[in-house]
A and B are shown apart, each in its own frame.
Chain A
Amino acid sequence: MIAVGMDLGTQRVKAVVLKDGAVMSRGQAFSGFDPTDAAEQAVEEALKQVHLQKADVAYFVATGSAIEMAPYANSTVSMMSADAKAGIYLFQNARTIIDVGAEEARAVKCDENGVMVDFVVNERCAAGAGTFIEAMARALEVKLEEIGPLSLKAERASPINASCVIFGESDVVSLIHRQESKPEIARAVFDAMADRISSMVHRIGVNPEVIVVGGVAKDVGFIASLNRKLGLNVLIPDYPDYAGALGAALIATSRAKEVQK
């Protein structure tokens, strides 16, 4: 039985194809101005890899910030519930899932069945999400994938006003003019972001097994800062950016079974 989960994020749409609850393939596309079109592309890309067609799919579930634009969706699920479901599937003992995306960050607490019991969201401020890292990488004139490794070379962090993307940008520019070290500036960016995320997570309580998902989980600089802040070694799954789509696909699988009954 084939089930598909789609996560329509602000920057990318991700799709995961499951067969009898096991991952078969993944696909993604830039959301751009037409998330519906992007979702169709992501689903097609994922299905093509395993030589399937839309007609083979028993059930589609959509999640993400552009959920109302989702094509094919038989039903939808909240981003928090999708995170919880994926978290427990990826790491059986995980009870706290941190999801850091392009424009939003969330922390979700779940029970042993992957059912969400509490959550907290940062959605109104770019300083707590991937946008912040992108803006700072631009100001530092380094590629997005370079800023993380760069920050690991620093012993300390530069003093910058990293509470706001707008202020951070101008601070970084003046630090560069003063020829401050780029690694130390990069480290300051991640420390500030980890600070925000960590205080957000503490609002719902931290369990020892914390997993981090979302596109920003791939950034080694952010994870190093977050580990220092939380005093933990957080768990990162393979393909952390597909966690939302995976959760949606897992829910699609169980809903398809219910329908078949």
Chain B
Amino acid sequence: MIESSIKSSVEFWRWEEYNRIMPGKKWTSKDLITAGVDVGSVGSKAAIMVNGEAYSWGITRTGSNSPESAKKVLDWALRDTGLKVSDLKYIVGTGYGRVNVPMANKAITEIACHAKGANYIWGSSVRTVLDVGGQDIKAIRSDETGRVVSFLMNDKCAAGTGRGMEVFADLLKIPIEDIGGISLKVDEEPPPVSCTCVAFAKTEAMGLLRKGWSKEKVLAAYTRAMAVRMANLINRVGLEKELVITGGQSKNIGIVSRIEVILGVKCLPMPNWRENGLDPMVAGAFGAALFAKALYEKAQKP
């Protein structure tokens, strides 16, 4: 009875929570082990680094209580590693809930952490980072060391954010991890929708479906409108190659490929995070763990 009621209420917005230990990596008690905990509005990410090299990470959904979410995701990242929280020499908290990471030695803004993390994942050629989070979009310019030069942010509107995409997944009853691919299954790009407000889209999209538009076409029109918003933000901060995308939407091929078309540039290739590559959704936590290492080393100097 209970089981059937759970099955009937599929949560299409729900993305995969997982943890990973980098294959072949080991730690010893002599190593400098640090952590970054990125408590976002929608997802929480934690990364463990051994001597500044990615060792393990975890991704979970942020609950209504930030300190609990921080603890939960750090436990995920430590699972099966043999490490305990007390083995971590220094922990940096970041993200929307960064002041609510109880075990953190210091909090650093997610903008600095994403620039640093993108530099770590893709290397020193990265100059522009688009971070599409659950509740905001940031376009960040950085130098060859991953230091922030300038940035712009949209945090007043759900259009284009991960949360906005979750609403579409639910509305069209398509699992969130499939919507990017499905949005590309159109022969040609439909006319863009005039209004990007996600609240209005709830009714407008239904109207388009009733008019006979396919789900693919509706999704293509809205994904395009969202990509235009993101591209505009990048243009305003000033696009300099190389461009990379971090955050949950970096996994949305419908968004990434349209941004590339609109801006006329290719992003640096996405790491194969499903196999043994680094996950761009964890970029902020990687950056935080790197800051943790630097801060620990600085504190050790006489």
Please tell me if the beta carbons of B200 and A164 are within 8 angstroms of each other in the complex: no
Contacts of A161 in B (CB 8 A): 135
A35 CB to nearest B CB, Å = 12
Residue B199 CB within 8 A of the other chain: yes
Residue A177 CB within 8 A of the other chain: yes
Residue A91 CB within 8 A of the other chain: no
Please tell me if the beta carbons of A166 and B167 are within 8 angstroms of each other in the complex: yes
Residue A235 CB within 8 A of the other chain: no
Please tell me if the beta carbons of B64 and A126 are within 8 angstroms of each other in the complex: no
Please tell me if the beta carbons of B197 and A126 are within 8 angstroms of each other in the complex: yes
Residue A93 CB within 8 A of the other chain: no
A183 CB to nearest B CB, Å = 21
Interface size on A, residues (CB 8 A): 20
Residue B158 CB within 8 A of the other chain: yes
| Listed residue (A165, A167, A174) with the most chain B CB atoms within 10 angstroms of its CB | A167
Complex CA–CA separation, A132 to B200 (angstroms): 10
Task: Kindly identify, within residues 150 to 181 of chain B, every residue whose CB is under 8 Å from any CB belonging to chain A.
Answer: 155-158, 163-164, 167
Q: Mark A147-185, 1 if CB is under 8 A from B, else 0.
A: 000000000000001011111001000100110000000
B262 CB to nearest A CB, Å = 20
Please tell me if the beta carbons of B64 and A103 are within 8 angstroms of each other in the complex: no
Q: Which of A125, A167, A177 contacts B64 (CB 8 A)?
A: A177
B286 CB to nearest A CB, Å = 27
Complex CA–CA separation, A165 to B196 (angstroms): 13
Please tell me if the beta carbons of B64 and A124 are within 8 angstroms of each other in the complex: no
Please tell me if the beta carbons of B163 and A124 are within 8 angstroms of each other in the complex: no
Complex CA–CA separation, A177 to B156 (angstroms): 23
Please tell me if the beta carbons of B135 and A131 are within 8 angstroms of each other in the complex: no
Contacts of A167 in B (CB 8 A): 135, 158, 163
Contacts of B199 in A (CB 8 A): 126-127, 131-132, 135, 164-166
Q: With A164-B156, A177-B64 given, is the CB distance from A170 to B195 under 8 Å?
A: no
Please tell me if the beta carbons of B156 and A178 are within 8 angstroms of each other in the complex: no
Please tell me if the beta carbons of B200 and A126 are within 8 angstroms of each other in the complex: yes
A105 CB to nearest B CB, Å = 13
Chain A contact surface mostly: helix
Residue B198 CB within 8 A of the other chain: yes
Contacts of B194 in A (CB 8 A): 124
Contacts of B156 in A (CB 8 A): 163-164
Please tell me if the beta carbons of B195 and A124 are within 8 angstroms of each other in the complex: yes
A125 CB to nearest B CB, Å = 5
Q: With A163-B156, A163-B157 given, is the CB distance from A170 to B200 under 8 Å?
A: no
Contacts of A135 in B (CB 8 A): 199
Please tell me if the beta carbons of A166 and B64 are within 8 angstroms of each other in the complex: no
Please tell me if the beta carbons of B158 and A125 are within 8 angstroms of each other in the complex: no
Please tell me if the beta carbons of A103 and B200 are within 8 angstroms of each other in the complex: yes
Complex CA–CA separation, A24 to B85 (angstroms): 76
Q: With A125-B157, A177-B64, A178-B64 given, is the CB distance from A166 to B198 under 8 Å?
A: yes
Q: Mark A94-130, 1 if CB is under 8 A from B, else 0.
A: 0000000001000000000000000000011111000
Task: Kindly identify, within residues 37 to 91 of chain A, every residue whose CB is under 8 Å from any CB belonging to chain B.
Answer: none
Complex CA–CA separation, A127 to B167 (angstroms): 16
Complex CA–CA separation, A185 to B164 (angstroms): 23
Please tell me if the beta carbons of A166 and B200 are within 8 angstroms of each other in the complex: no
Task: Kindly identify, within residues 173 to 219 of chain B, every residue whose CB is under 8 Å from any CB belonging to chain A.
Answer: 194-200, 210
Please tell me if the beta carbons of A164 and B64 are within 8 angstroms of each other in the complex: no
Complex CA–CA separation, A155 to B143 (angstroms): 48
Please tell me if the beta carbons of A124 and B158 are within 8 angstroms of each other in the complex: no
Complex CA–CA separation, A178 to B68 (angstroms): 14
| Residue of chain A at shortest CB distance from B42 | A170
| Listed residue (B158, B164, B198, B199) with the most chain A CB atoms within 10 angstroms of its CB | B199
Residues of B that sit less than 8 Å from A by CB: 64, 135, 155-158, 163-164, 167, 194-200, 210
Per CB-CB distance, the 4 closest pairs between chain A and chain B, nearest first, are: A126-B199, A166-B158, A165-B199, A163-B156
Provide a sorted-by-A list of 7 A–B residue pairs whose CB atoms are within 8 angstroms. A132-B199, A135-B199, A163-B155, A163-B157, A164-B198, A165-B199, A170-B163
- Given A127-B199, A166-B199, A170-B163, list of 10 further CB < 8 A pairs? A103-B200, A124-B200, A125-B197, A132-B199, A163-B156, A164-B156, A166-B163, A166-B164, A166-B198, A167-B158
